Structure 1
Amino acid sequence: MNERQTTVNIISSRVGVVGLAASLALFLSACGSDNPTAATDNGTTETSQAESLTGTLAGAGASSQKAAIQAWKAGFVAKNPSAQVEYDPVGSGSGVKKFLAKEVSFAGSDEVLKDEDREAAKARCEADVMHLPVYISPIAVVFNLDGVDTLNFSAETVAKIFAGQITNWNDPAIAAENEGVSLPDLAITPVHRADGSGTTYNFTEWLHAAAPSVWTHEANKKWPLAGTNGEKTQGVVSLVQSGQGSIGYVDDSAAAGMGIAKIKGAGGDYVAVSGEAAAKTLDESELSGASGMDLAFTINRTPSDPAAYPIILVSYDVVCSAYSDANEGNLVKAFVGYEVSEEGQAQAAAAAKSAPLSQALRTKINASLDSIKVG
């Protein structure tokens, strides 16, 4: 594994290649699918039979998407009153298991499927599987110290804290990055996810890429060390909020009410968590891999832009490239289309502080949705 970037499966191109995506979209629109359902940019659908959407769509997976999903469900159902959406935020690992077992129609995952899961997904779908990015968010390093709302951390300092090499809040390494801050003589309690988590995968991937001499563990959705842990995002939040001296990592949408760290950027300044700063990291990341319709990212964990916030996650809807049940396929296409629409992305940004998808990336996603065969 490259220490600066994790290899994931997708087409070898930069996000900004709009011309290719637009041409591909036109080509697919002309060719059509077995029972085409095209998602428009406001989340409505157009079918050859002008069918209305009915029934319940079931999904499960990444808890990072929880706040955004709630907003998307409300907006989607308002446009499609005969349809319902159920989403269980059980975590990326458990969501993928439910998808493979055909318990749900799509999985939310903050991690690209490993080879063995990809093969299992192909068997489950009886077709190829696709990763469609719907949610881009910074991961916040959160802490609980009385009277302290923000701290500055380099990647090396964060890695040493979570590796157990820095164990007290008044450690000289922390003090050196935070002049003028009164740091208590208090033990640090790192908190990690207990479940298989895409947030953990992205966080450990950044630790290994940005501070490889300290954090020697490869990226993994399972935390590699013993220690205090909580189930899902809310479990980590609860432990940090209730434990003076605690520190953890959560999707930024769940970081309210805790201290939030700024992370040292490429130019030496400390960068605050924001969707805009997260988008700058994605701008330096690439699409690379399996097929033109499978849109997973290789994330650059050490971006050169001094204003980029480097700890980000890209959360995908993992979907089949073909659904034998036409209604199920049409629901998947319509709901994901709404998630990535301009309206849907604005709702996610308001509810979860995520970084909206670029128009170029949205064009690619809509081309992938148009390619899904149904019935």
Structure 2
Amino acid sequence: MKLTRIAQLGAVAAVAALTLTACAANEGGSTAPTSSESQAAALSGNLVGQGASSQQVAIQAWTAAFNQTNPDAVVEYDPAGSGTGRESFLAGAVNFAGSDRAFKVDEIAKGGFGACAADSGIVEIPAYVSPIAIIFNVPGVKSLNLDAATVSGIFAGTITKWNDPAIAADNKDATLPDLAINPVHRSDKSGTTANFTDYLSANAKDVWTWGSVEEWPAGVVGEAAEKTSGVVEAVKAGEGSIGYADSSQAAGIASVKVKVGSEFVEHSPEGAAIALDASKIEDGRTDGDLAFAIDRTTTASGAYPVFLVSYLIGCEQYKDENVAALTKAFFQTAVSEEGQSSAAKNAGSAPISDDLRTQSLAAIDLIK
């Protein structure tokens, strides 16, 4: 398995932003230290994670912040996909996982988490909240209004041309070509796919009949592309293409406004935050397991329900005390106000609320 030392990749902007933030705080008077800043001594050693490609830019920012107070610690993260990350965490091949979906209750009940000490529970921290952009490449068209049934029909293969009446009905001012639609989906096991298909299923289950799935259903139309970057490149390269991608990697690409209630809403961190506010933590979870049941059918004004909550997943108890300390401090950095602000600036994510931060820090305190 090839891992990427992200402290050296793309974190320069995050370091600069965090340094400026720290300077501004000093000029304005004393502030309460973050959890990582208040550590008695800097940590050292290697912390290895794997998982969601959606989190990659945010993890770069968090690593930059973490290394400011722990310069001898190395964080390695392989953005191989949510499913791969969870599987590696189960196998004990990595210390933590990043995933665009939490472990299911029955998966946790089976146990066998190789990264953890015997009989340890797990913590799942909703550290990254981001809209999923529905991106497209249609000559002469920069924005489209689509309701859930139309989006579902496009990805199910029942709507095949860009000038289809269902698309034209909500885009009367657009010049829609007689061009074949090429839906692009993830080829790998993906939490982004799980969240996207969850939206389709919740809002148009009579059109999208495959439910919420991490792996694209066999036989369903479209082009397969690996990881978020692959979907983005395929859409950019192919006229008539449409796909879904974490918005952190969708800048500058035409995107869909989805229908929520009576309005059409474009993807934004603010819209994702409003939709998250309409959701609750699932029943049956432990104090350290903050997995959300997302309300995809909210009609709250400004809500953008096509979004993901991506989790940092670790052990309540590790076999190695130093790994536990590194994981705990890194997770604290990620959910801190500074960490969330840096991720928002660099990845376009929605910062978690103060209440959720309090819950998350309590869950992280369970790590030993």
Per-residue deviation, residues 14-35 of structure 1 (Å, max 9, x unmatched): xxxxxxxxxxxxxxxxxxxxxx
Q: Which residue of 2 aligns with 1:282?
A: 276
Paired with 1:78 and 1:120, the residues of 2 have a C-alpha distance of: 38
Q: Aligned partners of 1:116 and 1:298: how far apart in 2?
A: 15
What code does the residue aligned with 1:59 have?
G
Residue 99 of structure 1 is aligned with which of 89, 94, 116?
89
Q: Is the 8 A contact 1:41 1:338 kept in 2?
A: no
Provide the residue aligned with 2:3 in structure 1: none
1:319 paired to 2:311: no
- Report the counterpart of residue 164 of structure 2 in structure 1: 171
Distance 1:264 1:81 in 2: 47
Is 2:89–2:113's contact at 8 Å kept on the other side of the alignment?
no
Equivalenced residue count is: 331
The alignment yields a C-alpha RMSD, in angstroms, of: 1.5
Corresponding residue for 1:269? 263
Q: 2:155 touches 2:221 (CA, 8 Å); kept in 1? A: no
1:52 deviates by 2.5
Structure 1 residue 42, shift from structure 2 partner: 2.5
Q: CA shift at 1:78, angstroms?
A: 1.7
Q: Which residue of 2 aligns with 1:42?
A: 34
| Partner of residue 351 from structure 1, selected from 346, 352, 362 | 346
Query: Quick check: 2:37–2:69 contact (8 Å CA) kept in 1?
Result: no
Shift of 1:120: 5.3
What amino acid is aligned across from residue 105 of structure 1 in structure 2?
A: N
Shift of 1:116: 5.5
Q: Distance in 2 between matches of 1:276 and 1:242?
A: 29
> 2:42–2:69: 8 Å Cα contact kept in structure 1?
no
Partner of 1:151: 144
Once the two structures are superposed, the pairs formed by residues 1-375 of structure 1 within 5 Å of their partners are 42-44=34-36, 46=38, 50-115=40-105, 117-119=107-109, 121-124=111-114, 125=116, 126=118, 127-224=120-217, 225-266=220-261, 268-288=262-282, 289-373=284-368
Amino acid at match of 1:254: Q
* Aligned partners of 1:43 and 1:76 also within 8 Å: no
Map of 2:28 onto structure 1:
none
Q: Tell me, in whole angstroms, the C-alpha distance in 2 between the residues paired with 1:120 and 1:226.
A: 35
Could you report, residue by residue, the CA deviation over 1:339-361 in whole angstroms, capped at 9, with x for unpaired residues? Answer: 11000001110111111000000
Residues of 2 paired with 1:187 and 1:207: CA distance?
21
CA contact (8 A) 2:235 2:242 kept: yes
TM-score after normalising by structure 2: 0.87
Percent identity, aligned pairs only, is 51
Unpaired segments ≥5 residues, structure 1: 1-39
C-alpha distance in 2, partners of 1:46/1:326?
A: 19
Q: Which residue identity is paired with 2:266?
A: A
> TM-score, normalising length from structure 1?
0.85
> How far is 1:79 from its partner?
2.0
2:236 maps to amino acid = Q
CA displacement 1:51-103 (0-9 Å, x = unmatched): 42001111000001011111111121122111111110000000111111211
Greater mean alpha carbon deviation, residues 113-122 or residues 318-327: 113-122
- The whole-number CA distance in structure 1 between the counterparts of 2:66 and 2:313 is 19
Give the CA deviation at 1:226.
4.5
Task: Check whether the contact 2:183–2:221 (CA below 8 A) recurs between aligned residues.
Answer: no
Q: CA deviation at 1:257?
A: 2.8
Q: 1:284-330 deviations in whole A, cap 9, x for unaligned?
A: 10012221221110000111302101111000011111112111000
Counterpart-to-counterpart distance in 1, 2:290 and 2:33: 18
CA contact (8 A) 1:146 1:244 kept: yes
Amino acid at match of 1:99: F
Unaligned runs of 5+ in 2: 1-31
